[in-house]
Structure 1
Amino acid sequence: MLKTPYYLIDKSQLLKNMEKIAYVRQQSGAKALLALKCFATWSVFDLMQQYMDGTTSSSLFEVKLGREKFAGETHAYSVAYADDEIAEVLASSDKVIFNSISQLQRFEEISRDHVRGLRVNPGVSTSEFTLADPARPFSRLGEHDPAKIATVIEQISGFMFHNNC
């Protein structure tokens, strides 16, 4: 008898998806990161890491999992970093993405020697599910004002565009 929950993963089907990711990476030059929030089944990381550039994580423990179990880059992102976790997040990641200019400013000093990015909300909806739509009315997910973003451009090295969850 199998204990539940039991997750059965067909590696041949997973491989087909990984090959599609490899094709997109090759044709576009883009990087592909595994979002650990969506899939943290490290028993197949050995297969997946051959086709991806690393992981992206939204919590301290996801960042640590990515660093310890998946080859490549480890990106950290969170809507709200805790003061008592930010040093460990930085120590366990290669890049950190800040959700807002105020968050970037709050952790500017401690993250000064780290590769930093800023989440940009282009205000484009791709989801009918309002809760998962960063462009929904009154969203605080990412910055949307180009003039405000320009004031911190020297403090970051890139942007994250996250259009839906």
Structure 2
Amino acid sequence: STHIPERWDERGEHYDATADDAAYGVFELAGGAVAQINSSWTTRVNRDELVEFHVDGTHGSAVVGLFGAKIQERNATPKPVWNPDIEDTVDYDATWQNVPTNDVFLNGFRQQWQEFLTSFVTGTDYPFDLLAGSRGVQLAEAGLESSRTGTKVELPELSLD
């Protein structure tokens, strides 16, 4: 989607947006898990980090960002009673546990470039090859088709054969 079709550059000059600024998807994974993914440059940030990944499972939830992670186990999840006439006083943020930082990680983009260049120089296989890129394009095209038709799209297995 393009939510902000008109924009202004650093000099204050108007231009029309030529690229989408948000993507939304619901994916059913092998094994039956369902993943909902939202990515938007137009959202107003109300989170701890610039990008966060929120995963809900049957035994709890995790939120992972660029610099930290926190978890909430199923048995520690608050059980609020919704009543529109009474203010909810539960501090939901306080019910999450920070995951200890046991290692320092590089910026993900930098790390992937370093891994790629090392693989190139040493002549070893790099796991994110042309086939991996093709799967990404396949997923994007299936998402667009699903958006146009309103139907679920199955992804066939890709191979170099």
Q: Same fold (TM over 0.5)?
A: no
Larger radius of gyration, structure 1 or 2?
2
Give the TM-score range, shorter chain: under 0.3
Point out the structure with the larger strand share: 2
More contact order relative to length (CA 8 Å, sep ≥ 6): 1
